[in-house]
Amino acid sequence: MHKIPDSYFKGNILACYILLIPMYAFFFLIGAKPYHLDDFMQVSQDQLAFRAAIMASIELVVALISRLSMLLVRSKHQINYTGFIIWELMEGLAITMFCALFVWLMDKRAMPYTELLPKMFVVTFSILLFPYVIVALFSELKDRDNTIARNMITIERYATGQIGREDSTLPFLDDKKALKLAVTANAILYVEASDNYVNIFYLNNDRLVRFPLRNSMRGIEQICESNNIVRCHRSYYVNLRKVRAIQRDKDGLFAELTYPAAPHIPVSSTYSETVTGKFSTLMN
């Protein structure tokens, strides 16, 4: 399953989830009164507006906590589409439970909470489904545009010989965008994550050298992926030109490198299909 694009986590998209969707929920509740919510709650228009404001505030707080937590998780682990959908369903369920609790307390527990919850579930998800889908489609469109722009730049760099060749020089920048290492693509064996650093392992006069660079795996992703140095594990990139074979043993899949002293590089299930596909294409 492919990972969620970066566009899902940009500031304007997060603002939609945290600010615009609660505002939409408020005006939808008081304007459309879905499922005759005012009759169901037996409240006036003013009372419905008050309850809608509280319910929208609940949505805002839950979305804020949820999205910040998602950013924290994403900084350490990849989030794929399945995980993202499950996360959003859990987010909607949490909003439903808290909104139902609020209505239940406001009505002085006139109706059992377990009977109120299904009604609030239908109301909440019918309100949130439309804006959530629209924001997701906008994110996909934004990611498509960004991908096209990046591909055009990559094509130009391939055409001019800046990348793609084995003798292409790769500039590695630290987290402050300062150049720390320039090395040919053919010299690199693999890259390993280590806390706030990435260790770039390359050959210098047939000797394996480790260069620690203060950056993240995401921070060097573009320069690596453009030169057949692919992500094969949460903590590893591997240069496919330096892979002798991809094998499986009792511990899982791993890449055997052409340099005898190099360790076997693990290939996790998340990246196995991509890595094996690119490796087969490169070998052919």
pLDDT tens per residue across span 179-226: 999 999 999 999 999 989 999 999 999 899 999 999 999 999 988 988
Which residue bears the tokens 């996790």?
A: 268
Residue 157 pLDDT: 56
Distance CA 229, CA 232 (A): 9
Q: What is the per-residue pLDDT for 107?
A: 87
Quick one: pLDDT at residue 38?
Answer: 78
What is d(CA 139, CA 240) in angstroms, rounded to the nearest whole number? 31
Domain positions in the chain = 6-156, 169-283
Predicted confidence at residue 165, as pLDDT, reads 59
Distance CA(203)–CA(259), nearest Å, equals 9
Helix (H) or strand (E) holding 210: strand 207-213
> Structure tokens of 205?
């006069």
For domain 169-283, give the CATH superfamily.
Answer: LytTr DNA-binding domain (2.40.50.1020)
The pTM (predicted TM-score) of the whole model is 0.57
The closest alpha carbon to 214, from 168, 265, 179, belongs to: 179
Task: At 38, give phi and psi (nearest 5°).
Answer: -65, -40
> CA 249, 253, 256, 262 torsion: positive or negative?
negative
| Dist CA 128 CA 135 (whole Å) | 11
pLDDT score of 143: 84
Residue 236 Rama label (left phi>0; alpha psi -120 to 50; beta): beta
β-pairing, 207-213 vs 169-173, is: unpaired
Mark the ranges of the chain whose per-residue pLDDT is less than 50: 159-162
The CA distance from 151 to 182, in Å, is 23
- Residue among 176, 197, 175, 188 at smallest CA distance from 239: 188
Residue 70 contacts by C-beta under 8 Å, 6 or more apart in sequence? 9, 79, 87
- CA gap 68, 254 in Å, rounded: 34
Average model confidence (pLDDT) for the chain?
88
Q: Which pLDDT score, from 0 to 100, does residue 147 have?
A: 77
User: Phi and psi (nearest 5°) for 170?
Assistant: -100, 120
DSSP H/E element including 131: helix 113-159
At residue 268, the pLDDT reads 93
